[in-house]
Structure 1
Amino acid sequence: MNLRLNINLKVPAITAGSFAIILMLFIPFTLFAQGGSKIEIINANSLEYDESLGKNAKRLIGDVQFKHEDALMFCDSAYFYSESNSMDAYGHVRIAQGDSLRLFGDSLNYNGTTKKALLRGHIRLENRDITLTTNYLDYDRTLNMAYYFGGGTVVSQKENNTLVSELGYYYTESKSFNFKKNVVLTNPEYTIEGDTLQYGSQSKIVNFLGPTTITSKNDFIYCENGWYNTNANTSKFFKNSYLYSDNKIITGDTIYYERETGYGRIDCNGAINDTIEGLILEGNVIELFQDRDSVMITNEALMMQLFDVDTLFLHADTFKVSTQYLKIDSLPNQTDTIRNLFAYNHAKFYKTDMQGKADSIVYNFSDSTVNFYHDPVLWSETNQLTSDFTYLQMKKGKIDAVYLNENAFIISKADSLFDNFNQIKGINMIGHFNDSNQIRKIEVLEDAETIYYGRDEAGDYIGVNKAEGTNMLVFLDNNELSSLTFIKDPEAVLYPIKEPSPKDVLLKGFNWRVNQRPKNRFDIFVW
């Protein structure tokens, strides 16, 4: 066990201004295309009738100016069709409305009756600090839609935003925008890239449709469906969504985040993967409390700790990672950080060389201890270890010692054919591990008792050794007893193998719980 976890879920703040600027861009443009009234000729250096283009068709050349409603239109030359109340303008086309809107292009087809305006070539639409550039821009009042195609770029100096896309649509009734195909919104704080981006100026919600990425300095978000409420600073990401932040990968079917409160929630197939520490937390409901640097996981909660050649799997009804910051009296400007991982109710773990279960397990990050509460049992190789309270002391990512407090009991089978059990019992015990995570020495403190099946060099039983004393030292070699030493007041008897009755070869409190031992990673879900 080598647990470390620090959560920093941080979805970049996407401001409403990033999209409201585009609304400001289009509103004045939609007004100049009001239908019903006649287009007026204000000026031209020369005017000719051209019947080949239609009845009452006029050709205007030089400093041509038109007016429709409150919009003025300028160009080098134009054809005006009074019968259809329409016009074609060419060369240095410019449209001005009020003090805010300026529109430039190479050509304009405008019809005051059908309510359509078509601009082509080197189009530049300016409104206050916002500029749209494109080669194709249409406005259809019948559909209440303005749109560009063939690629367009929107730049806001105030918001420091640049948005590019192949297609852009503005719907005047709903006041919503659609940007499609190769959409990229660039801001100094983040970059959004996607297939389709929708923005409702009334709801202030940005919708991400299709594969979308949000990239900031320290974070990366991917989703194929989702939304961001620019007013409330809340977001939700669906479909193959994940977030990469602070060397952690956060995934889930649904990821919800409140930027102001720092609260996040992952629903269905949620996972937090710490790529540095090799730690993975999974669950169908994961709640993140960023301000408290805490996490709670329920519903199929699972923790995986990756090692070089092995993996620890831990399951419980609920996981909680909790962080506390305590002031240090002697150092008033510093704080001490206390972090714990709590595994509540029906906690069970599996690792190739050790397994265990308890009602609750607590890992303390500061002192690297793993505490087992309420009827704990551990299995280390061939040994079963039980006590009222058990804790492991970690050192450099490995088990250094196990402490069995109150009613300590260690059991192992003497052989695989018969129910003969080697047993060690005491009030308290300390088991010391070697670098291979095997118990090498056991200190039995107070009321030490042992039953051991002795063998000769050929492996045949020579008898059953029953001993007791105050304190005892047991040394093991490759999980086999190599020596046993009583420190004080020893009493020992060696019985022939067939002499003791069954009750005499089981110490009081004996409970062989092998049927509860997980045999693989999937057994930890079975209590």
Structure 2
Amino acid sequence: MKIIASIILLFSAYSLFAQPSGGSPTGGEPIHVRHADLLSGSDTTGILIRELIGNVHIEQGNVTLRCNRATQYLAENRVVMIGNVKVIQGTVTLSGPSANYDGNTRIASGNQGVKIVDRKTTLTARAGRYSTISAIANFYGTVRAEDDSVAIDADTIEYHRSTENSFASGNVLMQAKYSKAFIVGDSAENYPSRNYSRVTGHPILFQIDTVATSHDSLKISKDSSNTSKPDSFLAQKDTSDKKPDTMTISSVVMESYRGKNERYIATGQVEVVRGGLSARADTVLYGNSDEKILLRGKPIVWYDSTQLSADSINIYVPLKKLKKIEAFANAFSASQDDSLHADRVNQLSGAAITIAVELDTLREVFARGEAKSLYFLVKETEPDGAARHSADSIRITMENSKPEIIRWLGGVNGENIPERMMEGKNKDYYLPSWRWEKTRPKKQVFVGRKR
């Protein structure tokens, strides 16, 4: 015959003294009940249980548990909590509608929605666990981690309380708090003390700019609500004098440095697309405040029908508008303007080449330092030979993105080549530094995080 003993007591925090669970099997600190409005105890088939109801307050060492209702399994040294659950340890608070706390491992866990708040960091997820020993939280399912400078969405996030560092994996979206930029990738690391983040696994940076089409200065809202839905940036409607413009940068690794001078460093197979401009390089450095994009390691830039390459290239975008492209060392430019004759490619080389752009239209190309040019001539839409020259510098004024006036300055040497000599031999007259990349980067499209 089973004997069930039940005791129901009504007591306050002053009348309920510390009640240890009998010590944990691992020799850790016992769990103490500090308060409950209602307590019932039972011993069924040898299982000791305490039911705690109303304003429950439990402690184990430096950990405090609070909830509306709890079931304490004394032999197992664990507590099941329901209703307004809070697990508090120093500056960190885990909360949710329900949670389990294991007094042996000192791990709190929940699977009906959990939230952790620790100083400047907040994490939310469908499920998660927090170790009060290692001070590490592991969250799973629609996880979001947010501090004062960045928000991260991912399938899983591991948060280290001692350093405030977080490590995300699976379907990552990282968004800067006060700029219209976000990065997607497979995994991410965030180091708040250094204002530094690193995204890997096919990372792509999306920079959504509001471009003024008049002479008005650009204004970007710093409303923190903008960080919650990056999809809304892409869905902005054009206004009378402003329109959204998106730049994408894809790479193998994407690093971001936040603060007054927000910077991004993309490395490994980097591709950049912004409006009519595309680029490829081993490394790309982009700074919002600097208003320039630096390409290093075999850089190539495409703008309209022009392709530019060199040892290094700088792209200048003041007020988010393309103004100038500078190529340094072994610079070479090629423009394929004749769609009917693919081998008639206009060429320019020099120690440095500068391309000037105005109102999204190529206005001037300037080569300096042992400059050389090859331009194919046309007479009434028909090929009419070519002109090949060298000079200290060459300045080309463009009209409708095509050469209108060419000026050769200093130490000029040149020749005009009749069409009859070039038939079928156009490539024989190419400049010594000729190079051409057929594959142009394409713009990446953000379709939203997978759910």
Asked whether the equivalents of residues 152 and 168 of structure 1 are also in contact (C-alpha less than 8 Å), the reply is no
Partner Cα separation in structure 2 for residue 114 and residue 503 of structure 1: 99
Note the C-alpha offset of 1:502. Answer: 1.7
User: Which consecutive residues of structure 1, in runs of 5 or more, have no partner in the other structure?
Assistant: 1-83, 85-110, 325-336, 523-527
- 1:163 alignment counterpart: 66
Residue 376 (structure 2) pairs with residue 453 (structure 1): yes
Relative to 1, partners in 2 of residues 1:275 and 1:291: Cα closer, same or farther, differing over 3 Å?
A: closer
Asked whether the equivalents of residues 248 and 443 of structure 2 are also in contact (C-alpha less than 8 Å), the reply is no
Q: Percent identity, aligned pairs only?
A: 17
- 2:353 alignment counterpart: 429
1:94-493 aligned within 5 A: 114-119=4-9, 124-126=12-14, 127=16, 132-134=35-37, 137-142=39-44, 143-148=47-52, 152-154=55-57, 163-165=66-68, 167-183=69-85, 192-215=94-117, 218-246=120-148, 248-308=150-210, 309-321=244-256, 341-363=264-286, 367-419=290-342, 420-436=344-360, 438-455=361-378, 459-493=381-415
Relative to 1, partners in 2 of residues 1:469 and 1:211: Cα closer, same or farther, differing over 3 Å?
A: same
Asked whether the equivalents of residues 311 and 351 of structure 1 are also in contact (C-alpha less than 8 Å), the reply is yes
Indicate the SS of the match to 1:503. helix
Indicate the SS of the match to 2:374. strand
Asked whether the equivalents of residues 330 and 351 of structure 2 are also in contact (C-alpha less than 8 Å), the reply is yes
User: Which consecutive residues of structure 2, in runs of 5 or more, have no partner in the other structure?
Assistant: 19-32, 211-243, 446-451
TM-score scaled by length of structure 1:
0.65
Asked whether the equivalents of residues 162 and 185 of structure 1 are also in contact (C-alpha less than 8 Å), the reply is yes
How many residues are paired up? 391
Structure with more of its chain in strand, by fraction: 1
Asked whether the equivalents of residues 162 and 187 of structure 1 are also in contact (C-alpha less than 8 Å), the reply is no
Asked whether the equivalents of residues 390 and 414 of structure 2 are also in contact (C-alpha less than 8 Å), the reply is yes
Note the C-alpha offset of 1:322. Answer: 5.5
Note the C-alpha offset of 1:411. Answer: 0.9
Note the C-alpha offset of 1:180. Answer: 2.0
Partner AA of 1:380 in structure 2:
Y
RCO higher in structure (CA 8 A, sep ≥6): 1
Partner Cα separation in structure 1 for residue 104 and residue 58 of structure 2: 22
Note the C-alpha offset of 1:239. Answer: 1.1
Partner AA of 1:317 in structure 2:
V
- 2:430 alignment counterpart: 506
Note the C-alpha offset of 1:356. Answer: 1.5
Partner Cα separation in structure 1 for residue 265 and residue 296 of structure 2: 11
Partner Cα separation in structure 2 for residue 236 and residue 449 of structure 1: 61
Asked whether the equivalents of residues 348 and 358 of structure 1 are also in contact (C-alpha less than 8 Å), the reply is yes
Partner Cα separation in structure 2 for residue 304 and residue 323 of structure 1: 15
Partner AA of 1:509 in structure 2:
S
Greater Rg, structure 1 or structure 2? Answer: 1
Asked whether the equivalents of residues 155 and 161 of structure 1 are also in contact (C-alpha less than 8 Å), the reply is yes
Partner Cα separation in structure 2 for residue 174 and residue 435 of structure 1: 73
- 1:56 alignment counterpart: none
Note the C-alpha offset of 1:392. Answer: 2.2
